[in-house]
Amino acid sequence: MTAAATTPSREDLLVQMRQIVGASHVLTDEQGTRRFRKGHRTGEGNVLAVVRPGSLLEQWRILQAAVAADRIVIMQAANTGLTGGSTPDGDDYDREIVLISTLRVSGVQLINDGQQVVCLPGATLDRLEQALAPLNREPHSVIGSSCIGASVLGGICNNSGGALVRRGPAYTELALYAQVKDDGSLELVNHLGIELGDSPEEILTRLQQGDYSPQQVRNEATAKASDARYGEHVRDVDADTPARFNADPSRLFEASGSAGKLCLFAVRLDTFPKEPSTVFYIGSNDPHDLTEVRRHLLARLPRLPIAGEYIHRTAFDIGEKYGKDTFLVIDKFGTSRVPAAFAMKSRVDGFFERFGLRGVTDKVIQALMNLLPSHLPARMREYRDRFEHHLLVRVSNDTLEQTRAFLAEFFAGSDSGAYFECDAEEGRKAFLHRFAVAGAAIRYREAHRSSVEDILALDIALRRNDRDWVETLPDEMEEQIIHKLYYGHFFCHVFHQDYIVKKGNDPIAMEHRMWALLDERRAEYPAEHNVGHLYVAKPALAGFYRELDPTNSFNPGIGHTSKKKHWGDCC
């Protein structure tokens, strides 16, 4: 690739960036950049450099340098996404890539007596949970991605959904971001609703230091810091459309759903009271039982359930065996240790891959896990043997009696299903197991490379009134699959479907056939992981990306759009 004559050379740009953040935070060697260039589940490509700014002002100056040098910018926080949306994808870009990793720019600032927060680019959901715990409040998402260190801003960029039924997709209309305009100039836009000054340098420095008073925080009713509409939306169980999906135009607003087409410096979000709750564990061999439970609890409870998570028996089994280490690390050490463990694993894997040895850590860890007994409560294991379909329901205790009475009546004398009320330990472990299922297919693939071609992972949103939610595949497709893992956010009708594909079959061709089947079911996809580099962005979403980034300087190629400057012939 030849840089334009009027732009800095590769070496000149590297020198400039090292002067801004320090040489140790500009990574260029293959080993040092690997864990940033390679997606958690998919996606990988080359970069000119990975730059790790230590402040908002350094992030701004690196961005200025990269844009002035006519390089592509990919913003990345925790790199926990499942569709490769914050890494390069291939090496067919028309400009070199500067990947800006924001994890060093951490910070959570409580405002409005903790009813809202301002989160900086490196803030993780785990760290936000810790900051809010003394106030007996919690963030938008408290289960799932927070356990592997996902960033708050990453959730906003992807309209991530999560497991909490009342709160819907991550959403805000209050953000501080930089945008490359039509003429190629860089602009800092302060829509945080906080008075921080006029120049980028003043705004970013004061925000970093928390240098603003409560009087400088504006609370305008028209600017939302969460999706307050979702509770009413999800209750409409007879609606002929999905409750939530990434391309929903009503939830695309500046930072929200931007998928890296802006450079975010901060977002402002609502927080929520933490409530005493109880978990019910439901098992059934008739999926219609779970349908009726879902419809009743959504439509008839005086307050919405907190969460309703589905696990199919096969997903239960794969998660129990191949997600055991994730479960045990979180169970014994908490979520805060997991990001460091993932980073260490990536470094070790990178070392062995230089010698052509792939998946060494996965194989070693799995061999150790196979020596350990089951870590799951006895009643969960019993239900696994009895029932194909499993549903975990968490309700706030102010609706406990109504839920208990309904389930007792519904399953009285039932031949197909049953339930039990979990104690605190069982409830905690049931939801932790549901989380461990989500990464288990990756471990299975690495442990069985000789028989597995790859994983095909879909996240889909079914219509709210769809009673036939169990998938039926054509026989010829079934023959190409070793295991199907079905799990998801059942009350929102959002399902994660991981297919472990037999060696010698084409996962991409299979995925395209899956898309056709989903179109026939009038499902929307992706539901909450965003398009990344796996899915095709639908016209409304592609148009939103182009509106945010008219020169295609940020994260080109997302959603199978153009990777070329000014979008080439795309859209």
Is 151 marked as a binding-site residue? yes
Sequence ranges of the domains in the chain: 10-104+540-568, 108-273, 277-449
Beta bridge partners of 279: 394
Is 308 marked as a binding-site residue? no
- What is the fold of 108-273? 3.30.465
- Are the C-beta atoms of residues 550 and 181 closer than 8 Å to each other? yes
Q: Of 115, 207, 205, 102, which Cα lies nearest the Cα of 157?
A: 102
> Whole-angstrom Cα distance, residue 259 to residue 313?
34
Is 144 marked as a binding-site residue? yes
Is 264 marked as a binding-site residue? yes
- Are the C-beta atoms of residues 219 and 118 closer than 8 Å to each other? no
Is 131 marked as a binding-site residue? no
Strand pairing of 272-273 and 137-138? antiparallel
Tokens of 74: 């990919």
Tokens of 147: 């356990």
Report CA torsion sign: 530, 290, 299, 403.
negative
Virtual torsion, Cα 330, 145, 492, 397, nearest 10 deg: 40
Is 509 marked as a binding-site residue? no
> From the CB of residue 365, how many other CB atoms can be counted at a distance below 10 Å?
18
Tokens of 36: 């940033």
Is 185 marked as a binding-site residue? no
> Whole-angstrom Cα distance, residue 374 to residue 394?
24
- Are the C-beta atoms of residues 144 and 120 closer than 8 Å to each other? no
- Are the C-beta atoms of residues 254 and 175 closer than 8 Å to each other? yes
> Whole-angstrom Cα distance, residue 58 to residue 408?
59
Is 5 marked as a binding-site residue? no
Is 85 marked as a binding-site residue? yes
- What is the fold of 277-449? Alpha-Beta Plaits (3.30.70)
Report CA torsion sign: 55, 56, 58, 63.
positive
DSSP state of 394: E
CATH number of 10-104+540-568: 3.30.43.10
Is 80 marked as a binding-site residue? yes
Is 172 marked as a binding-site residue? no
pTM of the model: 0.90
Per-residue pLDDT of the chain (571 residues; tens, 9 = 90+): 444 446 789 999 999 999 999 999 999 999 899 989 998 778 899 999 999 999 999 999 999 999 999 999 999 998 887 788 999 999 999 999 999 999 999 999 999 999 999 999 999 988 899 999 999 999 988 754 444 578 999 999 998 887 889 988 999 999 999 999 999 999 999 999 999 999 999 999 999 999 999 999 999 888 999 998 999 999 999 999 999 999 999 999 999 999 999 999 999 999 999 999 999 999 999 999 999 999 999 999 999 999 999 999 999 999 999 999 989 988 887 766 666 776 677 777 777 777 777 778 888 888 899 999 999 999 999 999 999 999 999 999 999 999 999 999 999 999 999 999 999 999 999 999 999 998 899 899 988 999 999 999 999 999 999 999 999 999 999 999 999 999 999 999 999 999 999 999 999 999 999 999 999 999 999 998 899 998 999 999 999 999 999 999 999 999 999 999 999 865 5
Is 78 marked as a binding-site residue? yes
Helix/strand/coil for 240: coil
Helix/strand/coil for 382: helix
In SS3 terms, 448-474 reads as: CCCCEEEEEEEEEECECCCCCCCCCCC
